Structure 1
Amino acid sequence: MLARPKDPSLEKRLLESGWDLLAEGGFDALSMSEVATRAGAHRSDVYRRWTTKAQLVAEVLAAHLPPVTSRDTGDLREDLRHFLDDLSRSWRAPWTEGLVGFLAELPKDPEAEVTFLNTAKHRSQPLTEAVTRALRRGEITELPDLALLQGLAEGPLIHKRLIGRQAMTPSELDLLADTITAVATQGGPTR
């Protein structure tokens, strides 16, 4: 008996359905069954790929989060400001509403946690590149603690969005870029 040929667009449809559901109702409202229904698939198609909802959502985020790009403007502060613009665009999107429920599930699901942490690491790469370029140009003399700089970048964005229920304004992003630059250039904590 011949196996049924795989549908090359099925995984893409499942991830798109997951993204739509995450944006519409958040993590708690998303179900594996609804992802399958929206994608025109069977529940078994979903469970064959992801055994938990957290694994599915981790891959949905990896596939659909707005990109964070690396720009070399020749100036650390400007590179940081572009990085913050990209992060801010991402944090303004509706998917953030479901983030708290998703993060609460990660400790229970090591596979989903690894996927999510790899996505976060990839998204922080432009910051690492900006700081490395600044070090080469002599704007900074020591490599600062990159985890601290990443926390300084995303922490206020997350807080303003999830607690304040608003996006950061351009002037707030300017102030944040100034703050991160000051920490990186004026003897902030180093590795």
Structure 2
Amino acid sequence: MDPKYERIADERGAIGARAAERRADGGASRRRGPELEDAILDAAWDVLIEHGYHGFTYEAVAARAGTSRPVLYRRWPQRDDLLLATLTKFWQPITVPDTGSLRDDAIGFLRNANADRAPTITFMSVQLADYFRDAGTSFDELRHTLLPPGQATAFETIVAHAVERGELPDVPRPSRVVNLPFDLLRHDLLTTMRAVPDESIVEIVDEVWLPLLGARPRPQERHPHPRPGRS
């Protein structure tokens, strides 16, 4: 074919592709900026819940959102970019208590997480198992990725408050130790697939975490009743 006609054919093809994209957008093309992004992320969350990571495709999300794949590609060039944006929107931070007591802050936060996050933590750990394997990452790494840049974890904040109040000495502590209560809560959620009993939350703090930090609950703070299964 003459090069001139090849160029014309290419141009017609590009024009046709753009027209197809506009048609695929349909009503979604009238949504712009944050409104369109919110609609896409809402649709992406629904797809992730219903179909898991392997079903989390541009095609499925675009169809659910009533838009086209190019619209998604322009905002999130890689599928994992769209996944992280979706999780960031729906992984809302839990308020960190500041009660004036290290123990009460820790137990209060775990209770809040247990009530608000139990379904989400279980869902994410199960539905994203393939993502963790493919990406070579873990739930803990994902949790840190979802935090705003430079923001401390909840238990880093709780420990920092305790240091400021003089409840704990200002010394370096391993991140694994500081964040242990949440990790133990998540472990219990995943092994039982249900909310963690309150006595287990108290036990995590009183019997495991505070001793590791070199702190002990005041006598009036201790659990007043023996725990089931203990002699």
Aligned ranges 1:1-191 → 2 under 5 Å? 7-8=32-33, 9-88=35-114, 89-93=116-120, 94-107=123-136, 117-120=144-147, 125-143=153-171, 145=173, 147-178=175-206, 179-186=208-215
Deviation of 1:80 after TM superposition, in Å, equals: 1.0
More moved, 70-79 vs 124-133: 124-133
Which runs of at least 4 in structure 1 moved beyond 4 Å after TM superposition?
A: 120-124
- Structure 1 gaps, min length 5: 109-113
Which deviates further from its counterpart, 70-79 or 178-187?
178-187
- The 3-state SS of whatever aligns with 1:68 is coil
- Normalised to the residue count of structure 2, the TM-score between the two structures is 0.66
Q: What's the RMSD between the two structures over aligned residues?
A: 2.9
1:86: how far off? 3.4
Question: What is the DSSP-based 3-state SS (H/G/I as helix, E as strand, rest coil) of the residue aligned with 2:168?
Answer: coil
Q: Percent identity?
A: 24
Cα deviations across residues 48-70 of structure 1 (Å, max 9, x unaligned)? 12222222111111111142212
Displacement, 1:116?
A: 5.9
Q: Give 3-state SS (helix, strand or coil) of 2:100's partner.
A: coil
Q: Which runs of 5+ in 2 are unaligned?
A: 1-28, 217-231
Larger Rg: 2
Structure with the larger RCO, 1 or 2 (CA within 8 Å, 6+ apart): 1
What's the offset of the Cα at 1:185?
A: 3.2
Q: Displacement, 1:138?
A: 1.5
Q: In the alignment, is the contact (CA less than 8 A) between 2:163 and 2:170 conserved in 1?
A: yes
The CA distance in 2 between the partners of 1:84 and 1:70, in whole Å, is: 10
